[in-house]
Amino acid sequence: MDKSTVPVGTAEKVSKNIAKELKDRGVEIPFSVVSNPEFLAQGTAVKDFLEPSRIVIGADDPKVIETMRELYEPFMRREGRFFSMDAKTAEIVKYASNCFLAAKISVNNELANICSKAGADFDNVRKAMGADPRIGEPFMYAGPGFGGSCFPKDVKALVKTAKDFGYDAEMLKQTLGTNDKQKFVLSQMVIDELGEDLKNKVFGVWGLAFKAGTDDMRESSALTIISELIKRGAKIQAHDPEAMKMAQREEYFGENSSITYFENKYDALKEADAMLVITEWKEFRTPDFDEIKKLLKTPMIFDGRLLYEPKKMKEMGFDYKSIGR
């Protein structure tokens, strides 16, 4: 059984290799190769396993498909969530799912950037759009760009697969291009406000992981945002509930003297010139704004996740700037 996200045709190759090995050994053992991609999200993997949104089985033998159905029966509390198909189709389902979600994020980010230029509020736009059942509410958020181990890798893989078959997946390539551009939006907001020279500027950063619920720093937008500020002379005071040790690994920030890490999110804001929100952790959504205002040199917040209400922030005396607004 292939559980990993694998290139189209992997099950066929595995089957041929096993058949060849059995032939070389002079033995006959009946076998089947099943493509059964997993759909586990970081931060909710256990729940996703116990309560799967769907089970995808790629196999040609009806007996094998029935065996897999019986195997998953204890977890199939919802009807109509078992899908059987050929192996190549099953292999492409996982790529297709992640590519669609990545594209949805990039479209939202493009719309958010347009809203920002036009003086509109993307948070209200997304809510109204999401009410349309053809669009739906999930993944209707803007932010500093997607990261992690799945979306970037899987979009690139499907682009490569398309190329191998003589097709140019232009829209998927644009999804990646839009995402790469989005990772610079929050740092550019800071530069537009405070200038290119950020020497002697200190920024309190909330969030390092590519998303809440994990310590994963792979392709996190924080890597781009923080690096853009540091190369202009800024100092960073960072807090993340899970990812601070990971951030200090050599493949990420390493031992960077421009970054100081704080276990307490409020300590990261002491004497900072501004606060940046990069990751959408729940504990960042309803902070003590009076405490934040007291700790910052100037009450300035750059919100990369649209966590706070602009009107309320203004009433509390904050200079509040957000993606999508």
Fold identical between 10-91 and 183-322? yes
Helix (H) or strand (E) holding 238: strand 235-239
Residue 150 is a catalytic residue: yes
**Residue 302: beta bridge partners?**
276, 321
Question: pLDDT tens digits, the chain, 325 residues: what are they?
Answer: 888 888 888 989 999 999 999 999 999 999 999 999 988 877 788 888 888 888 999 999 999 999 999 998 888 776 778 999 999 999 999 999 999 999 999 999 999 999 999 999 999 999 999 999 999 999 999 999 999 989 999 999 999 999 999 999 999 999 999 999 999 999 999 999 999 999 999 999 999 999 999 999 999 999 999 999 999 999 999 999 999 999 999 999 999 999 999 999 999 999 999 999 999 999 999 999 999 999 999 999 999 999 999 999 999 999 999 999 9
Phi, psi of 241 (to 5 degrees): -60, -25
Structure tokens that stand for 164 in this block: 């191998």
Domain positions in the chain are: 10-91, 93-142+149-172, 183-322
Catalytic pick among 33, 87, 150, 229: 150
Q: Are strands 202-206 and 274-277 parallel, antiparallel or unpaired?
A: parallel
**Predicted TM-score (pTM) of this structure:** 0.89
Output the six-digit token pair for 296. Answer: 């910052």
The whole-angstrom separation of Cα 319 and Cα 298 is 8
CATH code of domain 93-142+149-172: 1.10.1040.10
| Distance spanning both ends of the chain, measured CA to CA | 47
φ and ψ at residue 303, rounded to 5 degrees: -105, 110
Kindly report the CATH number that applies to the domain delimited by 10-91.
3.40.50.720
> Please, are residues 190 and 229 in contact by the beta-carbon 8 Å criterion?
yes
Token code pair at residue 153: 């890798």
Q: Show Cβ contacts of residue 195 under 8 Å, excluding neighbours closer than 6 positions.
A: none
At which residue do the structure tokens 């349309």 appear?
132
Per DSSP, 155 falls in state H
Phi and psi angles of residue 262, each rounded to the nearest 5 degrees, phi first:
-130, 135
- For the stretch 97-121, pLDDT in tens is 999 999 999 999 999 999 999 999 9
HSE-CB of 46 using CA atoms within 13 angstroms: 1
How far is Cα 105 from Cα 109, in angstroms, rounded to an integer? 6
The structural architecture, per CATH, of the domain 183-322 is: 3-Layer(aba) Sandwich (3.40)
